[in-house]
Amino acid sequence: MNPFGELKRRLIDVAPCAGAGFIVSETMFIGGIMIMAAAVGLGWGNPLKIRKTLAEIYSKANGSRTFWLGFWINSLGSVGSSAILSIGLILYLPPESYGLLGVAVLDLAATVVVRKAIWSGARKAVT
């Protein structure tokens, strides 16, 4: 087991780079969502009620380059967050902390599943 002081020093050393990367990727994630919402005319309503308007959103999304730009910005931001977490864990933390990679894997899996659903829904709206 690594002593706590060594772990603390490693975290302090990596914090500026990892923090900056995480802020950039989360900004891309949120910015992408905002671009997507603006492209389909979605306001700041209740996100839990969005399911009722999915057909309308999908039909507007398919013909909108702005929506797809936001989609890809959002996706890159989400993948970036998982990558930064994974790289930081592997390179800077002791092997005892590798169990936390599960968080990054679950986040990446959720990213793929949600983006696939959006992609499929928008494509089916055309047919």
Report pLDDT for 16.
87
Which tokens go with 1? 């087991």
Q: Which residue has the higher pLDDT, 46 or 85?
A: 85
Q: Looking at the predicted structure, is the pLDDT value of residue 2 above 60? A: no
pLDDT in tens, 86-120: 988 888 877 888 888 998 899 899 989 988 888 88
Distance CA 104, CA 53 (A): 30
Yes or no: say if 89 and 98 are a contact pair by the CB < 8 Å rule. Answer: yes
Distance CA 24, CA 124 (A): 32
- What is the number of helices (H) and of strands (E) in the chain? 4, 0
Report pLDDT for 121.
81
Taking residues 35-57, what's their average pLDDT? 75
Q: Which residue reads 């979605």 in tokens?
A: 42
Instruction: Give how many domains the chain has, as a whole number.
Output: 1
Report pLDDT for 124.
77
Taking residues 21-50, what's their average pLDDT? 83
- Structural domain harbouring 86: 3-125
pLDDT in tens, 49-85: 666 777 777 888 877 899 999 999 999 999 999 999 8
Yes or no: say if 84 and 16 are a contact pair by the CB < 8 Å rule. Answer: no
Yes or no: say if 29 and 83 are a contact pair by the CB < 8 Å rule. Answer: no
Taking residues 13-39, what's their average pLDDT? 89
Confidence tier at 44 by pLDDT (50, 70, 90): low
Yes or no: say if 62 and 125 are a contact pair by the CB < 8 Å rule. Answer: yes
